[in-house]
Amino acid sequence: MTAASPSAPPDGRTPFIIGLGMAQLCSWGSLYYSFPQIAQAMGADLGWSKAELYGAATLGLAFSGLAAYPAGAAIDRGHGRAVMAGASLLAGLLLALWSQVSSLVLFYVAVAGIGAVQAATLYEPAFAVVARRAGPLQARPGITALTLWGGFASTVFIPLIQVLLDAFGWRGTLLVLAAINIGLCATANFLAAGVGRDAPPARLYPAGAPRSVIGEVLRQKVFWALAVAFTAYAAMFSGFTFHMYPLLVERGFDTATVVSAIAFIGPAQVGGRILVTLLAPRAPVRVVGSVIVAVFPLAFLALELMPPDFVYVALFALAYGSVNGILTIVRGLVVPELLTRRAYGAVNGVLSVPATFSRALAPAGMAMLWTATGSYDAVLMGVIALAVLLALGFWSAAALARPLDERD
């Protein structure tokens, strides 16, 4: 399998990106989107409560946060093949272990491990591999292409997992997902991440080891503004995703309308990514991000005020999905434009840590808010506040960031 050199940035047509993209689609579908369906089947079979099941998911996300920096730093040092292929192989073994659990302790061990390997298999490590191959400033086409592959994960895997559950039960489904990770994801990551010529190391961290770059970055106000923005976004997205269905039902939308509207979000994410690629392929990330973050509070405010009609909630779903899709691209490109071109994986990993913890805690926090108030009105106000914080944080980072010279 060949790959483009740094002078010819890899895009969606290169075997390098196609291989990583296939692994992204299957990794997101099997490691992330599969959990709610399998947990529901497990709960019915084993009699475990939702609190017991989703406690494991929270633990897994926490372990993902802890693993983000070491995974990114290892990729910066040229170990992308070992990190991503090894993590996919381990993910398959952990899914197989999960298929055999009959105790909560073993279940929590398996899901905690799966959370940790997500930090080495999902978008951030794949973005870091592309940035090392192409150079951070030339990584945009490849990163955008990967988000298109990942955007179809829920569309492909949610119905696939339901078919598997109906045919083989949750234990058999997990074994199939294990085989996908070992046979497809590990192979694709091994072939794609290991062949080809990376950007010269001096272009990635000329000042030395990633740890020294992290020390410099942590002293920048831009880093902390971005950390606030993406931590708020992670809490907003995670909390709203887990509570969207009951929130919309409580606001008077019938269940058929809610299900139909939610189905629009995945395709809208892909559509938003395609649209920004066609209309603004060279626009600065700070400009694209500054526009996109303004849409979130406006969309949620509209949801607060709109009548319970399908047309309105469908428009909300399309707007929300499309800006989510575009923000994924912004998140992948913001480090080299606003912070530093060095040690992309390590810096991205550190930036992901607080966001990962907020993503883990937000669903439970919003559930507690609903319990305290007895209404999703307070939850929606909290979501709007997080959306405003996202916008303010990103706008602050865009205003504070200084132009980066060619040596940074």
Residues 48, 322 contacting (CB under 8 angstroms): no
| Count of other CB atoms within 10 angstroms of residue 396 | 17
Per-residue confidence (pLDDT) for residue 202, from 0 to 100: 43
| Domain 15-201, second-level architecture | Up-down Bundle (1.20)
pLDDT digit string, tens, across residues 254-289: 888 887 887 788 889 889 888 888 887 788 889 999
Per-residue confidence (pLDDT) for residue 3, from 0 to 100: 39
CA 282 to chain CA centroid, Å, is 23
Residue whose C-alpha is closest to residue 137's, from 278, 355, 273, 339: 339
Fold match between domain 15-201 and domain 210-400? yes
Per-residue confidence (pLDDT) for residue 324, from 0 to 100: 92
Instruction: Extract the residue ranges of the chain whose pLDDT is less than 70.
Output: 1-12, 137, 194-210, 403-408
| Count of other CB atoms within 10 angstroms of residue 30 | 30
Per-residue confidence (pLDDT) for residue 181, from 0 to 100: 97
CATH of domain 210-400: 1.20.1250.20
Max Cα distance, the chain (Å): 59
- Could you give phi then psi for residue 99, rounded to 5 degrees? -65, -15
pTM of this structure: 0.79
Per-residue confidence (pLDDT) for residue 295, from 0 to 100: 96
Q: Distance between CA atoms of 170 and 185, rounded to whole angstroms?
A: 21
The rounded percent of the chain whose pLDDT value lies above 90 is 41
End-to-end CA, the chain: 31
Instruction: Map tokens 């740094």 to a residue.
Output: 6
Q: Distance between CA atoms of 352 and 124, rounded to whole angstroms?
A: 9
- Helix H, strand E, coil C: the string for the chain is CCCCCCCCCCCCCCHHHHHHHHHHHHHHHHHHCCHHHHHHHHHHHHCCCHHHHHHHHHHHHHHHHHHHHHHHHHHHCCCHHHHHHHHHHHHHHHHHHHCCCCCHHHHHHHHHHHHHHHCCCCHHHHHHHHHHHHCHHHCHHHHHHHHHHHHCHHHHHHHHHHHHHHHHHHHHHHHHHHHHHHHHHHHHHHHHHHCCCCCCHHHHCCCCCHHHHHHHHCCCHHHHHHHHHHHHHHHHHHHHHHHHHHHHHHCCCCHHHHHHHHHHHHHHHHHHHHHHHHHCCCCCHHHHHHHHHHHHHHHHHHHHHCCCCHHHHHHHHHHHHHHHHHHHHHHHHHHHHHHCCCCHHHHHHHHHHHHHHHHHHHHHHHHHHHHHHCCHHHHHHHHHHHHHHHHHHHHHHHHHCCCCCCCC
Per-residue confidence (pLDDT) for residue 9, from 0 to 100: 57
Q: Distance between CA atoms of 218 and 340, rounded to whole angstroms?
A: 11
Per-residue confidence (pLDDT) for residue 150, from 0 to 100: 87
Per-residue confidence (pLDDT) for residue 406, from 0 to 100: 47
Residues 338, 397 contacting (CB under 8 angstroms): yes
The domain locations on the chain are: 15-201, 210-400
Residues 233, 397 contacting (CB under 8 angstroms): no
Measured CA distances, 281 to 136, 171, 276, 278, 399 (Å): 16, 44, 7, 6, 22
Q: Which residues touch 137 (CB under 8 Å, ≥6 apart)?
A: 336, 337, 341
| Count of other CB atoms within 10 angstroms of residue 83 | 26
pLDDT digit string, tens, across residues 349-372: 889 889 988 988 888 888 888 888
